[in-house]
Chain A
Amino acid sequence: SQTIHQWPATLVQPVGSPLSLECTVEGTSNPNLYWYRQAAGRGLQLLFYSVGIGQISSEVPQNLSASRPQDRQFILSSKKLLLSDSGFYLCACRSSYNSPLHFGNGTRLTVT
């Protein structure tokens, strides 16, 4: 079964600083990968998804970007964080479009 590694678990960053969150997946190849953000413990907002190396679909225009340099690696970045970027960031993976989505343990980001 697949395992999703996401780090760090918590992060406090000042406004205007850069961000890099990394997600790696084990136990599957050529997965679909996703970044979600959750605010105030409610619904998950889809930020980016990727169906293959170098293929990124962006769902919400914002100052975040994503990259997939390797098959099982997905990175979320920002050049300059805003206060509104605070939230709980979840990386997710599915092995095919007929399989469920599985999540990493998330990164709680606080921008101060």
Chain B
Amino acid sequence: EDKVVQSPLSLVVHEGDTVTLNCSYEVTNFRSLLWYKQEKKAPTFLFMLTSSGIEKKSGRLSSILDKKELFSILNITATQTGDSAVYLCAVAWEYGNKLVFGAGTILRVKS
């Protein structure tokens, strides 16, 4: 059965800490993996990964995909209270039309 698993389910850190969020998947016909941040309402897009070993970076956030081991990580360095959110991972397969999300990681950054 195709599935997307995120870990940890929740995480509390202090400002300035570095966090690593994990997303593993078991799917057939993998096409891409996407990361989103959700605060109050709609998830906002962070990264889309299609190739192994190529890091994508935006400010303090970075992400990388390992297609051999079937996982991705999202790193946040020097965390700030504004990073508090639910971080969602999604995998696209079946020729890219279907996207399934993991349960998410709730991150809380304490000041």
Contact = CB atoms under 8 A, between A and B. Distances in A.
A100 B37 CA distance: 13
B101 interface: yes
B98 A46 contact: yes
Interface size range on B against A: 20 to 34
B61 to A, nearest CB: 15
Contacts of B86: 41-42
Interface string A68-112: 000000000000000000000010000011111111111000000
A19 interface: no
Given A49-B99, A97-B97, 9 more contacts: A34-B99, A42-B103, A46-B99, A57-B97, A97-B92, A97-B96, A98-B32, A98-B96, A103-B42
Interface of A: 32, 34, 36, 41-46, 49, 51, 57, 59, 90, 96-106
